Amino acid sequence: MNTLPLASAGRPVSDLRLRLAEALWRAGMTALAVMPFAMAIAHRSTPLFLALSALFCLGAVAAEGGLRQLGRDAASALASPLGLAVTAFFAWSVASIAWSPFKELSVAALGELWIPIACGFVLALVLPERMTSGAFRLLACSVVAACLLILVDLTTGLAARQALGMRANTFIFNRPTLTLLVLMPPLLAWLATSGRRGWAWAAAVAVAFGITLAHSDSGAALLGLLVMAPVFGLAWLRPRLTGWLAAAACVLAVASAPFLGTISESLISPAMHEHMTEHHTRERVDVWRSFGAAVRVKPVVGSGFGVSPRMHQTPVARKVPRELRPMLAIGHPHSTPLQVWIELGAVGAFLALVVLLLLLRNLGRQSHMIRSLSLALFAGAASVALVGHGAWQGWWAASLGAAVVWMLALKKTRLETEP
């Protein structure tokens, strides 16, 4: 493991502090690696493990005397075009509290989203270059253990959870399955490049995940996988074309979000709804129509960050056609672009689009393998966000943050060959 031999003031770091730092680095890696298994037990636990990992790693940096350098690295990252765009989106989110009808709800939503983002940011700066092969192997074990636990629970009718008095609904495994989905690209790539039997280990983990996905209720995870796999192939063969297609898809998704319900209603036939009953497509279209109508009431600045769970109680709801109001009580619009429009208006949607396009630009500058994997991860996560859960849920932000850290660690630990 790499350590810093000098403190920020130029004095040698004592052996005791170096041993403490090494222990903290290992604790940080362990917390991040066991996250998938923890999610299979407690399906909202990713923010906790990401925060623990960040705290351990910050402690290690402090023990090595590297906090000043970390501050300089963070300032440099935030001063980049992508960093400035993310900061602007955060600032607009905070500003929207001023016109939110439920300010406490908005503040809570800000914390739920941005605390995991901050933890992921810290980890991305300090942990990848120190990640060990042992940490990747522990992640692989954690993923397989999570798959086995989910399969056992589902095939036994969640008997163990019922016996323990825990929540026993099959849909609670949707979140762990989505967490596993976004961790697959860096983990499988690391395994596949780990010696002569690497491909076999990668295939075994992929099969375990595939069986788990087949038994789960998560249509969003299935959609993510169906998007992720071909995008990886296209990105490997035609990386520039893939980047342009991804950028165009982002523009289209954000621009059309207020009309998602109307568009979907015209494209999805009654027969298709019947065929996809278990994925609740008809209900999703109704939700999209209702929240789209709410966007048109206050299109420029939105209704305030995080107010979607109580949208039916806002003044905006009273201006929505009566027949569309009941679905405003559903909790969230099940579409991230639409939720951005509802809560932050056209200004927030524009800033979010800038963030996405700058992120894609950065991905396009990576080496071939990392670029292909990252574009696949981006596409899979984006497809989930288009039709899935609430936009600001902390477990999803933490899962994506962990995936980014593992991807950066893969970049640091693997020699890559350009085609």
Q: What is the pLDDT of residues 153-188, one digit of tens each?
A: 888 887 777 777 777 677 788 899 999 999 999 999
Q: Which residues pair with 12 in a beta bridge?
A: 6
Q: Under 8 Å CB-to-CB from 49, ≥6 apart: which residues? A: 31, 32, 34, 35, 38, 398
Residue 133 falls within a domain, yes or no? yes
pLDDT at 415 over 60: no
- Residue pair 139/180 in contact (Cβ under 8 Å)? The answer is no
pLDDT at 319 over 70: yes
Q: Which of 174, 168, 175 is nearest to 153 (CA)?
A: 168
Residue 325 falls within a domain, yes or no? no
Q: Under 8 Å CB-to-CB from 201, ≥6 apart: which residues? A: 140, 191, 192, 194
Residue 34 per-residue DSSP state:
T
Residue 213 falls within a domain, yes or no? yes
pLDDT value of position 264: 76
pTM for the structure as a whole: 0.90
* Domain total in the chain: 1
Q: Which range of residues forms the domain containing residue 147?
A: 15-256+335-412
Residue 304 falls within a domain, yes or no? no
pLDDT value of position 275: 57
> How far from the centroid of its chain's Cα atoms is residue 377's Cα?
10
Residue 170 falls within a domain, yes or no? yes
Q: Mean pLDDT throughout 292-304?
A: 94
Residue 300 falls within a domain, yes or no? no
Residue 69 falls within a domain, yes or no? yes
Tell me the average pLDDT of the chain. Answer: 90
pLDDT value of position 155: 87
Residue 277 falls within a domain, yes or no? no
For the segment 327-381, what is each residue's pLDDT rounded down to a tens digit?
A: 888 888 889 999 999 999 999 999 999 999 999 999 999 999 999 999 999 999 9
